[in-house]
Structure 1
Amino acid sequence: MGGSPLITNELTVEDLTARAVGCKRCTLGETRHSVVFGEGNLRAGLMLVGESPGEKEDETGRPFVGPAGRILNKILAEVGIRREDLYITGVIKCRPPQNRLPKKAEVSACVPFLKKQIELIRPKIIICLGSLATKTLLDPKAKITEVRGKWFERGGIMMMPTYHPAAVFHDEEKLAAIREDFRQVKEAYKKASGNGPKAPG
């Protein structure tokens, strides 16, 4: 759906957030309760990109606070990464009705926000959580089962795809794979930053 184009010279994440809150670039702007833009450390060297908000995210305006978020928090704690050391967002900022998969037009409408977030925050490493983030940021033809746990470089940023935490609900064996991927990311981030995310406590 039409709507004004994104301003290309946004100076701050706050400016971009305000623009997202008023966005009507696709029909999700008519059905959402909240815009789930993202949260975390704006100077984070590590960014997590998921898919789209679920029911709890839509209610609160925060990413990964529902069942998948609890899985993510568990994994972060197990590998010794604090959530406050990250910036977390999604490809889609508004919840698709009944948590259906986002449509291509919705992805196209929302991707400029994600790309601008990445430009402003300038992370060293991005973790692509699930298929949509992987296809959006790496390769539209990528298959998550083939690329998860592997490193890719895009625009000077190292990226690793892994399974979305929600995948654990359908296949518990994926939990170990996600945990191992996050361990790799933590070690790589330590090397990239000189110290890396601090362990809890």
Structure 2
Amino acid sequence: MLLRFESLKRIGEVYINPKNFKTMPLFLKTWRDLLSLDEKTYGVYAKTLYNPKERFLVKEEKDEKKAYELVKLYHEFLRSPLRFCSRENYEYQMKIKAFEGLPFANGWVGSKIALIGEAPGRKGCGLTGICFYRDASGMLLRKTLFSLGINPDFVYITNVVKCNPPENKLKGFGEKELGLLERELDILKPKAIFAVGRTAQKALKKLGLDAIYLKHPAWYVRRGIKEPNEEILEEYEEIRKAFVSIRGGVF
């Protein structure tokens, strides 16, 4: 479950996880090159550092404890998924996934920046297990963060609801989902929390946590926007500001 920073490889201005590649690209210099890779040629997870067996990035020694606690929580979720997901969502998730395990979270556990989404997407996290990855919403978020100078793999990303709801239509969340998210964030102890979408905003408010609201990338996608425009860049600039304030810079 742990991904160690020293196992990554830097090519040009991007970091890659060599384990995610079926074959290495001949040319790779910028994040645009990375996100344009063909998954049939290079692998489904080639455009991210993560995969279902490597979810939590450990960059510093102090990250170890948090990472192992998150792994323990994830395994608890795997053993008793109906304690944390509705039966309807869980059964649908089991039908559509193409990976071993269940969606949970991924990212650098020491970043101090947490993005909280709503639920796995049918063609994204629900299929791959990696949050905000592969589908239109996920790739717009990744492009936006890269455009702001932030590698999206160097923040921590999770969802309120961990199992993909039937037909991608989220009906809400209950105490079981809130309980898991609360435990997750208690381990993580982020200094800046971003609620990506209204469902995430409502959940975090119920937990009594301060969060900065951001429109979900799906809001932009539904309006035909699949590349970062001035509006989304201005809105998501808050993440860059938090990164600079907390980390002293961006990746």
Normalised by the shorter chain, which TM-score bucket? 0.7 to 0.9
Query: Percent of aligned pairs with the same residue?
Result: 26
**CA distance 1:182–1:135, shift in 2 (3 Å):** same
Q: CA deviation at 1:139?
A: 5.7
> Which of 5, 15, 18 lines up with 2:72 in the alignment?
15
Larger relative contact order, structure 1 or 2 (CA cutoff 8 Å, min sep 6): 1
Distance 1:103 1:133 in 2: 10
> Which of 168, 174, 178 lines up with 1:99 in the alignment?
168
Q: CA deviation at 1:196?
A: 3.3
> Which of 102, 125, 147 lines up with 2:192 in the alignment?
125
| Structure whose CA Rg is larger | 2
Amino acid in structure 1 at the alignment position of 2:104 = F
Distance 1:59 1:171 in 2: 24
Say if 2:249 is the partner of 1:181.
no
- 2:136, 2:221 within 8 Å by CA — same for their partners in 1? no
Distance 1:61 1:164 in 2: 19
Q: In structure 1, what is the equivalent of residue 108 of structure 2?
A: 41
- 1:162, 1:178 within 8 Å by CA — same for their partners in 2? no
> Which of 198, 204, 211 lines up with 1:137 in the alignment?
204
Amino acid in structure 2 at the alignment position of 1:46 = I
**CA distance 1:130–1:185, shift in 2 (3 Å):** same
Q: How does 1:1-201 map to 2 (within 5 A)?
A: 12-22=69-79, 23-25=81-83, 26-27=86-87, 28-33=89-94, 34=97, 35-56=102-123, 57-65=125-133, 66-104=135-173, 107-138=174-205, 159-171=211-223, 176-193=230-247, 195-198=248-251
The TM-score, its normalising length taken from structure 1, stands at 0.76
- The 3-state SS of whatever aligns with 2:211 is strand
Q: CA deviation at 1:103?
A: 3.3
**CA distance 1:108–1:196, shift in 2 (3 Å):** farther
Amino acid in structure 1 at the alignment position of 2:234 = E
Amino acid in structure 2 at the alignment position of 1:42 = V
Structure 1 gap segments, 5+ residues each: 1-10, 141-153
- 2:109, 2:188 within 8 Å by CA — same for their partners in 1? yes
State the superposition RMSD in angstroms.
2.2
Q: CA deviation at 1:31?
A: 2.5
**CA distance 1:61–1:184, shift in 2 (3 Å):** closer
Amino acid in structure 2 at the alignment position of 1:55 = R
